[in-house]
Amino acid sequence: MPVTPVAGAGLLIFAFLPDFLLWFPAFVNITEEILKRRTFAIISHPDAGKTTLTEKLLLYGGAVQLAGSVTARKNQRATTSDWMELEKKRGISISSTVLQFDYNGYRLNLLDTPGHKDFSEDTYRVLTAVDSVVMVIDAAKGIEPQTRKLFEVCRQRGVPIFTFMNKCDRPMKDPLSLVDELEHVLGIGAFPVNWPIGDGFDFRGVFDRQTSQMHLFERTVGGKFRAPVSVGGVDDPAVRGQLDDTTFNKTVEELEMLETAGEVFDDAAVLAGKSTPVFFGSASNNFGVQLLLDGFLKHAPAPKSRVMGGIEISPTNPAFSGFIFKIQANMNPKHRDRIAFVRVCSGKFERDMTVHHSRSAKKVRLSSSHKLFGNERETVDEAYPGDVIGLVGHDSFGIGDTLTTDPKILYKEIPRFTPEAFSYLHNPNTAKFKQFRQGLEQLMQEGVIQALYLRNSSIKTPLLAAVGPLQFEVVQFRLESEYGAASRLESAPWTVVRWLPVDMKEDDLDALSLPTGARLAYDIGKNPVVLFANDWSANYFGETNRNTPLSVLPVQTAKE
């Protein structure tokens, strides 16, 4: 077969390409570029250590010299990944971040995601843009609720999952029971690639089951530099001499138990999302991070085909195509503008190219394209499948839009969510009305919140709807810091919104019998909705208006 196996698992899709294609240099070039790409997200329950791990992966990737420690925030040293003002203040991730860097011949597009459920819409959108994920688990806590939900989304999409058991430097659950949880709570096969040696203060390192080598780490000051390691087999006296009898015997015993179970590493099951390779370590101490990175790159898939409306679009398709999965404004005070994040899915992107934009059905020229590294950006002239690029200067671009040189390609990847939190947002300063409106419109375009308009109401105050209440705080903070507009929140009495059939006439709406406290409203697309105080009230509506079906999302219209 003509293509050299430069990148393991990703090769599968190219193994059967006809030889004649290789006469075209452009094709060889794009194939090589695709095989080099690894595009992945880091996901988990809040606080498991995603951002810390991201920083350490950058450190090993040589992308940053000194990894900014999350705990060092007191000293004003921020992480590359949590660049937003509010993130630095709170020490949590609010928005996903894209980081592109090169390591060992690979080009990595890494997306650090927020764990908090109020920001999960952003995380779910990111999951549509990646080819695999690293799931971080706090080894003291095991599988937490948000990890479970995110895992479910990955499973539905068939995304390969790599597991990092983090915080082994603290008293942790028994490693065998952690692996067991993966199998029983998540229902996924688990293959420990390495195994922890000791835990808590006595966590010394990991045993690599594939090479039968012990990796012993030494703590470094503040975990800022790569952790030095000494490597040797189980019987290597130099390694053995560094372990006390209890730790050594326990590790050997556990390893024997794993061997007796007789499982082998199954690449196909990993690529199908049916089994997860498990790595142990401590992100903040750099323990096991390099082994995770190398193990991940060995087995993670390169970009593969996507199936849209029954059509398979291969990354090697000569037509350029991609979709917008995220929009973010004011990322960098130096550039107060708006970036649309595009996942390239097929063909080659070239700066200044003209593409078809699905929403407007117009041709647009893409002249301002960037590669991204946190809130830093650099002009990019070309990009390949797997890459995430940032496009600036297109106000008509929205989340979910397809950009392509072949108008037949249309991606419909972006999931939608039902808001569960509602609040009025007042503008206390009429002199700042313009800034207030402008900021709010921008945040709505980013998909952070949506606005609803009460029917037959003289109230001009926007009623905001979001997946979780923390988003309102983000809106307030960003309005103030990015647009200079103060605001005041007033809670609204509803917790449930349901969409009515889009073709309902005003007379039909008048004829509905609403439970006490329920209210009719419209979404931004003028679709009618009902706001309810609680689920019980929504169910009661269902019983009293049997001919009027309710849905949790607006019924898709032809425009979408």
- Residues making contact with ligand GTP (CB under 6 A): 44, 46-52, 70-71, 92-93, 114-116, 166-167, 169-170, 282-285
| Binding residues for Mg ion restricted to 132-171, rule: CB under 5 A | none
**CB of 9 or CB of 48, closer to ligand GTP:** 48
Handedness of CA 475, 450, 404, 388 (dihedral sign): positive
Q: Which of 44, 51, 132, 286 binds Mg ion (CB under 5 A)?
A: 51
Compute the least distance from the CB of residue 375 to ligand GTP, in Å. 16
> Which 3 state secondary structure label does DSSP give 132?
strand
| Alpha carbon 180 to its chain's center | 26
- Tell me how far apart the alpha carbons of residues 370 and 167 are, in angstroms, rounded to a whole number: 35
Is the separation of the CB atoms in 143 and 181 below 8 Å? yes
Compute the least distance from the CB of residue 139 to ligand GTP, in Å. 9
Out of ligand GTP, Mg ion, none, what residue 399 binds, judged by CB under 5 to 8 A for its kind, is none
Compute the least distance from the CB of residue 194 to ligand GTP, in Å. 15
Per CB under 5 A, does 93 bind Mg ion?
Answer: yes
| H or E element, residue 199 | none
- Tell me how far apart the alpha carbons of residues 334 and 140 are, in angstroms, rounded to a whole number: 41
Q: What is the b/e burial string over 518-546, where b = at least 16 CB atoms within 10 angstroms of the residue's CB?
A: bbbbbbeeebbbbbbbeeebbebbeeebe
Compute the least distance from the CB of residue 158 to ligand GTP, in Å. 24
Out of Mg ion, ligand GTP, none, what residue 297 binds, judged by CB under 5 to 8 A for its kind, is none
Out of ligand GTP, Mg ion, none, what residue 122 binds, judged by CB under 5 to 8 A for its kind, is none
Out of ligand GTP, Mg ion, none, what residue 498 binds, judged by CB under 5 to 8 A for its kind, is none
Q: What is the CA radius of gyration of the chain?
A: 25
Q: Mask 53-92, x = binds Mg ion (CB under 5 A)?
A: ----------------------------------------
**CB of 30 or CB of 283, closer to ligand GTP:** 283
Residue 293: HSE in the Cβ half-sphere, 13 Å Cα cutoff: 24
Compute the least distance from the CB of residue 498 to ligand GTP, in Å. 30
**CB of 278 or CB of 383, closer to ligand GTP:** 278
Sheet holding 450-454, edge to edge: 488-491, 421-426, 463-466, 450-454, 519-522, 528-532, 496-499
Q: Which of 117, 152, 110, 115 lies closest to 132, judged by CA?
A: 110
> Which 3 state secondary structure label does DSSP give 376?
strand
**CB of 9 or CB of 130, closer to Mg ion:** 130
**CB of 82 or CB of 446, closer to ligand GTP:** 82
Beta strands 388-392; 321-329: pairing state: unpaired
Compute the least distance from the CB of residue 489 to Mg ion, in Å. 25
| Binding residues for Mg ion restricted to 183-212, rule: CB under 5 A | none
> Which 3 state secondary structure label does DSSP give 127?
helix
**CB of 70 or CB of 188, closer to ligand GTP:** 70
Q: Which of 185, 241, 240 lies closest to 213, judged by CA?
A: 240
Compute the least distance from the CB of residue 87 to Mg ion, in Å. 8
Tokens of 19: 């030889």
Out of ligand GTP, Mg ion, none, what residue 314 binds, judged by CB under 5 to 8 A for its kind, is none
**CB of 122 or CB of 401, closer to ligand GTP:** 122
**CB of 50 or CB of 56, closer to Mg ion:** 50
> Which 3 state secondary structure label does DSSP give 71?
helix
Out of ligand GTP, Mg ion, none, what residue 52 binds, judged by CB under 5 to 8 A for its kind, is ligand GTP
Out of Mg ion, ligand GTP, none, what residue 419 binds, judged by CB under 5 to 8 A for its kind, is none
C-beta nearest to ligand GTP: residue: 115
Compute the least distance from the CB of residue 160 to ligand GTP, in Å. 20
Out of ligand GTP, Mg ion, none, what residue 170 binds, judged by CB under 5 to 8 A for its kind, is ligand GTP
Beta strands 528-532; 496-499: pairing state: antiparallel
Q: What is the b/e burial string over 170-206, where b = at least 16 CB atoms within 10 angstroms of the residue's CB?
A: eebbebeebbeebeeebebebbbbbbbbbbeeebbbb
> Which 3 state secondary structure label does DSSP give 236?
coil
**CB of 74 or CB of 460, closer to ligand GTP:** 74
**CB of 93 or CB of 242, closer to Mg ion:** 93
Out of ligand GTP, Mg ion, none, what residue 49 binds, judged by CB under 5 to 8 A for its kind, is ligand GTP
Per CB under 5 A, does 52 bind Mg ion?
Answer: no
**CB of 175 or CB of 400, closer to ligand GTP:** 175
Compute the least distance from the CB of residue 111 to ligand GTP, in Å. 12
Out of ligand GTP, Mg ion, none, what residue 160 binds, judged by CB under 5 to 8 A for its kind, is none
Is the separation of the CB atoms in 247 and 197 below 8 Å? yes
Compute the least distance from the CB of residue 82 to ligand GTP, in Å. 7
**CB of 93 or CB of 146, closer to Mg ion:** 93
> Residues in contact with Mg ion, total (CB under 5 A)?
3
Compute the least distance from the CB of residue 72 to ligand GTP, in Å. 9
Q: Which of 503, 492, 500 lies closest to 529, judged by CA?
A: 500
Is the separation of the CB atoms in 129 and 343 below 8 Å? yes
Compute the least distance from the CB of residue 83 to ligand GTP, in Å. 13
Per CB under 5 A, does 50 bind Mg ion?
Answer: yes
Compute the least distance from the CB of residue 75 to ligand GTP, in Å. 13
CA distances to 83, 234, 250 from 217, in Å: 30, 15, 18
Is the separation of the CB atoms in 226 and 290 below 8 Å? yes
- Backbone phi and psi for residue 247, each to the nearest 5 degrees, phi listed first: -60, -45
Per CB under 5 A, does 314 bind Mg ion?
Answer: no
**CB of 205 or CB of 322, closer to ligand GTP:** 205
End-to-end CA distance of the chain: 42
- Tell me how far apart the alpha carbons of residues 162 and 290 are, in angstroms, rounded to a whole number: 14
Q: What is the b/e burial string over 228-255, where b = at least 16 CB atoms within 10 angstroms of the residue's CB?
A: ebeebeeeeeebeebbeeebbeebeebb
Contact positions vs Mg ion (CB under 5 A): 50-51, 93
